């Protein structure tokens, strides 16, 4: 695996070290440190594809677009969106209301750790994940403008926006106050977008908006110009048969999310810190210690993982990791809000994983050193010990998708039932080009309620 640097915003490099122990303050002090203002842990997740793969980038005139580019550092994979100056992305993030803490510069993508979650930049797509009261969707016009202005992307290939139901929707701002407002905002940019609610409307549920490539772009309009009025944005057309990417060109898209709430006291306590531990730029160093203590740094093989984590003062934790999985470079990201009353942790990963009773979830060429899906779910849940959780697997459609999705449902149950969880919802969904497995679980005998409980 090629060495990957983790550079903080002040230019210093983070060195990962293993530590034997992390001191945790006692729960009486935690109560004093906890904020009385609720924090919205569940994230808004915006994913925009400007091309079907990194092999399908537009040819650009360096003289025209060079002002927005960084040096490619001799890496032929550092193309498209990855060549844009960090300062350009930071200006977009100012609109969203979050800041860059550090960056992992990978072989195939870059992982930005943010003050409110994460940003992942690949040559052909961008993933923006933000929590709290950030204005995620307000970054969309600027993202479209950046992609057009600096990279020559005139259209969007696909767009996805998803989130778990908010704990405190009344605290949200802009279009995020209600799901209907978010849908209307996205519809102003995209034709033929589809919006879905998966799960109990009066309980935990998962919301999804997605677009599909269209067959005819006769009505496509010019891309949005930053600062102009909103204009309709039409997804790129499905390519002709001779231009259609082969399986070797276009790997199956695969994303698993584990969204957890009602974390146990013992799981929450490590994420509260002495102020001195997080002071003077030591948030990265302390988080590295904590990642080792809790086993976060071994979720995937250590020699395949580059982990960048940050501990917030006085509480909270975020981490990005890049994974060399044998078929390319993937990521996982973790974010933790440990405060009682609104405790929450999320895990998201796009590395295709095998199952114990099959070679893979419809994906070939997987690395045998990777954890299987059941082990991954079990290990993540063991770290955060939630009273409630939902698990989603979102996979691009293939000939094996139906079997893969049902296999995933069995795996989720097998991983969680021995830990005392019962499944209270199981939903399989077919979208345009994608299949979804959604399941929610609750631990038997769970006591206590989050302030945000609606059911």
Question: Residue 446: is its pLDDT beyond 90?
Answer: no
Residue 40 annotated among the catalytic residues of the structure: yes
Let me know how long the chain is.
455
Q: Which has the minimum average pLDDT: 102-111, 355-364, 412-421, 436-445?
A: 355-364
Each residue's pLDDT tens digit, 286-344: 999 999 999 999 999 999 999 999 999 889 999 999 999 988 999 999 999 999 999 99
In whole angstroms, what is the distance from residue 290 CA to residue 240 CA? 50
Residue spans per domain, the chain: 44-211, 250-443
Q: What is the pLDDT of residue 360?
A: 47
Q: For the whole model, what pTM was predicted? A: 0.84
Residue 122 annotated among the catalytic residues of the structure: no
**Tokens 């906890």, located at residue:** 34
Could you please report the per-residue DSSP string of 166-190? PS-GGG--GGGGSHHHHHHHHHTTB
Q: Which has the minimum average pLDDT: 41-45, 238-242, 314-318, 423-427?
A: 238-242
Q: What is the pLDDT of residue 368?
A: 78
Q: What is the pLDDT of residue 355?
A: 82
- For residue 112, the number of C-alpha atoms closer than 13 Å in the C-beta half-sphere is 24
User: Given pLDDT bands bounded at 50, 70 and 90, which one contains residue 74?
Assistant: low
Which of residues 413 and 16 earns the better pLDDT score?
413
Mean of pLDDT values over 250-265: 90
Compute the C-alpha angle 234/395/143, nearest 5°: 35
Which of residues 182 and 222 earns the better pLDDT score?
182
In whole angstroms, what is the distance from residue 59 CA to residue 84 CA? 15
Which of residues 197 and 216 earns the better pLDDT score?
197
Give me the catalytic one of 335, 339, 348, 396. 335
**Tokens 């930071």, located at residue:** 90
Question: Residue 447: is its pLDDT beyond 80?
Answer: no
Residue 131 annotated among the catalytic residues of the structure: yes
Q: What is the pLDDT of residue 28?
A: 45
In whole angstroms, what is the distance from residue 395 CA to residue 434 CA? 6
Question: Residue 353: is its pLDDT beyond 50?
Answer: yes
Q: Is 339 helix (H, G, I), strand (E, B) or coil?
A: coil
Give me the catalytic one of 117, 212, 396, 440. 117
Q: Could you tell me the maximum CA-CA distance found in the chain, to the nearest angstrom?
A: 66
Q: What is the pLDDT of residue 277?
A: 52
Give me the catalytic one of 98, 131, 151, 159. 131
Q: What is the pLDDT of residue 450?
A: 57
Give kind and range of the element (H or E) at residue 450.
none
User: Given pLDDT bands bounded at 50, 70 and 90, which one contains residue 41?
Assistant: confident
Q: What is the pLDDT of residue 440?
A: 97
Could you please report the per-residue DSSP string of 41-99? -SPEEEEEESSSSTT-PPP--HHHHGGGBPP-TT-TT--GGGGB-HHHHHHHHHHHT--
Using alpha carbons, select from 69, 35, 246 the residue that is nearest to residue 146.
69
Each residue's pLDDT tens digit, 294-310: 999 999 999 999 999 99
Residue 182 annotated among the catalytic residues of the structure: no
Question: Residue 196: is its pLDDT beyond 70?
Answer: yes
Question: Residue 349: is its pLDDT beyond 90?
Answer: yes
Using alpha carbons, select from 254, 370, 357 the residue that is nearest to residue 301.
370
Q: What is the pLDDT of residue 358?
A: 52
Q: What is the pLDDT of residue 63?
A: 55
User: Given pLDDT bands bounded at 50, 70 and 90, which one contains residue 6?
Assistant: low
Question: Domain 44-211 belongs to what architecture?
Answer: 4-Layer Sandwich (3.60)
Residue 335 annotated among the catalytic residues of the structure: yes
Residue 222 annotated among the catalytic residues of the structure: no
Mean of the per-residue pLDDT values for the chain?
A: 82
| CATH for the 250-443 domain, from 1.20.1740.10, 3.60.90.10, 3.40.50.720, 1.10.3210.10 | 3.60.90.10
In whole angstroms, what is the distance from residue 305 CA to residue 366 CA? 16
Give me the catalytic one of 40, 116, 182, 257. 40
- The two domains 44-211 and 250-443 share their CATH topology (first three levels equal): yes
User: Given pLDDT bands bounded at 50, 70 and 90, which one contains residue 369?
Assistant: confident
Give me the catalytic one of 43, 257, 277, 329. 43
User: Given pLDDT bands bounded at 50, 70 and 90, which one contains residue 65?
Assistant: low
Give me the catalytic one of 236, 318, 390, 396. 318
């Amino acid at each position: 695996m090629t060495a990957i640097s983790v550079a903080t915003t002040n230019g210093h490099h983070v060195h990962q070290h293993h530590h034997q122990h992390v001191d945790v303050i006692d729960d009486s002090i935690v109560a004093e440190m906890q904020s009385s203002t609720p924090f919205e842990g569940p994230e808004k997740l915006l994913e925009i594809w400007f091309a079907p793969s990194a092999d399908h980038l537009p040819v650009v005139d360096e003289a025209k677009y060079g002002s927005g580019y960084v040096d490619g550092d001799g890496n032929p994979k550092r193309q498209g969106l990855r060549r844009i100056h960090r300062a350009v992305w930071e200006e977009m993030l100012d609109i969203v209301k979050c800041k860059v803490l550090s960056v992992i510069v990978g072989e195939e993508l870059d992982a930005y750790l943010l003050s409110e979650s994460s940003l992942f930049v690949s040559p052909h797509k961008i993933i923006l994940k933000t929590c709290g009261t950030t204005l995620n969707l307000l970054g969309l016009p600027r993202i479209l403008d950046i992609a057009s202005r600096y990279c020559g992307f005139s259209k969007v290939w696909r767009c996805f926006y998803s989130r778990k139901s908010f704990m405190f929707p009344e605290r949200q701002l802009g279009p995020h106050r209600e799901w209907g407002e978010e849908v209307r905002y996205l519809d102003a940019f995209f034709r033929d977008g589809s919006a879905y609610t998966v799960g109990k409307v009066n309980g935990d549920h998962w919301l999804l908006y997605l677009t599909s490539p269209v067959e005819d772009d006769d009505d496509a309009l010019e891309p949005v110009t930053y600062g102009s009025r909103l204009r309709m944005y039409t997804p790129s057309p499905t390519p002709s048969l001779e231009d259609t990417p082969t399986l070797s060109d276009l790997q199956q898209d695969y994303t698993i999310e584990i969204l957890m709430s009602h974390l146990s006291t013992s799981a929450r306590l490590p994420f509260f810190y002495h102020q001195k531990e997080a002071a003077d730029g030591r948030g990265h160093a302390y988080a590295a210690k904590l990642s080792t203590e809790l086993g976060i740094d071994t979720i995937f093989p250590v020699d395949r993982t580059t982990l960048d984590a940050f501990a917030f003062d006085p509480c909270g934790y975020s981490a990005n990791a890049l994974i060399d999985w044998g078929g390319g470079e993937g990521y996982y990201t973790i974010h933790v809000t440990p405060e009682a009353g609104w405790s929450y942790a999320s895990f998201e990963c796009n590395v295709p994983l095998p199952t114990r009773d099959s070679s893979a979830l419809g994906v070939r060429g997987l690395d045998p050193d990777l954890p299987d899906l059941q082990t991954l779910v079990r290990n993540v849940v063991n770290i955060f010990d939630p009273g409630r959780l939902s698990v989603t697997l979102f996979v691009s459609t293939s000939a094996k998708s139906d079997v893969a999705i049902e296999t995933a449902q069995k795996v989720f149950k097998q991983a969680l039932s021995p830990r005392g969880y019962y499944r209270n919802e199981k939903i399989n969904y077919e979208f345009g080009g994608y299949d979804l497995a959604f399941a929610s679980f609750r631990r038997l005998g769970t006591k206590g309620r989050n302030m945000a409980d609606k059911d």
